[in-house]
């Protein structure tokens, strides 16, 4: 028998509440990430900074939430939905004694390089347990990325009171059929959204994840 940390107790309580109280539904798509990888290599060659795939994902989600604010919302009992004015993205970070979700505020207003710097700072201080309460609360949307852990696909539990969370799997080389029926080897990545059906309907969820996909497959729109 092993006693669990206070953080793990909180995680257990909140995930149980979310899974039992929130009607989850899921939507998955595959994203071509060749252009993202090419941009990352260009940044490295120019010594203009190391931008992670997750930084692109945060920016893409932030812009998608600005385009579709009905997803940037929460259910309020008994019968209303609160739509947030600010886009505050929570990013799940694994720490030694569990999981924490630091919040990047007004992510839609940050440049890609600002997001990269902020995400590195938040993740580093999360692992050192140096985040303030303000930096751990107030998210309007969340992202869980296990791309670095060699996974094909996974589904995340919604981080209440958010109405949605994005799960990001590993990018892999795949044989694909191009638009002109030519065979190509390209890097592709599975992303999956979990939605609160009280706030987001299936068609809206499908549109939203495809807006995220559109931004990720056209990453120059994320650096302008």
Alpha-carbon span 221 to 210, nearest angstrom? 15
- H/E stretch holding 19 reads helix 6-21
Q: Say whether 197 is catalytic.
A: yes
What 102-111 contacts at long range (C-beta under 8 Å, 24+ apart), as own/partner pairs, is 102/126, 102/131, 102/135, 102/136, 103/135, 103/136, 103/137, 103/138, 103/139, 104/58, 105/138, 107/58, 107/59, 107/61, 107/62, 108/62, 108/63, 108/65, 108/66, 110/59, 110/62, 111/223
Main-chain phi, psi angles of 160, to 5 degrees: -60, 145
Query: In degrees rounded to 5, what are phi and psi of residue 152?
Result: -75, -40
Of 197, 198, 207, 214, which one is the catalytic site residue? 197
User: What residues are labeled active site?
Assistant: 197
């Amino acid at each position: 028998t092993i006693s669990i940390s206070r953080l793990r107790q909180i995680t257990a309580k909140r995930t149980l509440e979310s899974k039992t109280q929130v009607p989850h539904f899921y939507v998955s798509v595959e994203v071509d990430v060749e252009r993202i990888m090419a941009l990352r290599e260009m940044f490295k060659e120019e010594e203009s900074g190391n931008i992670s795939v997750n930084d692109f994902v945060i920016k893409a989600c932030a812009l998608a939430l600005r385009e579709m604010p009905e997803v940037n919302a929460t259910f309020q009992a008994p019968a209303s939905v609160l739509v947030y004015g600010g886009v505050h993205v929570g990013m799940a970070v694994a720490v030694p004694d569990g999981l924490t979700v630091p919040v990047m505020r007004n992510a839609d207003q940050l440049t890609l390089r600002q997001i990269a710097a902020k995400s590195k700072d938040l993740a580093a201080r999360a692992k050192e347990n140096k985040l303030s309460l303000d930096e751990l609360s107030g998210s309007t949307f969340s992202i869980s990325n296990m791309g670095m852990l060699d996974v094909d696909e996974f589904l995340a539990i919604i981080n209440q009171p958010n109405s949605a969370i994005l799960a990001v799997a590993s990018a892999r080389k795949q044989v694909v059929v191009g638009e002109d029926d030519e065979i190509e080897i390209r890097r592709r990545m599975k992303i999956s959204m979990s939605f609160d059906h009280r706030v987001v309907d299936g068609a809206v969820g499908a549109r939203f994840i495809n807006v995220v996909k559109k931004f990720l497959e056209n990453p120059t729109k994320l650096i302008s």
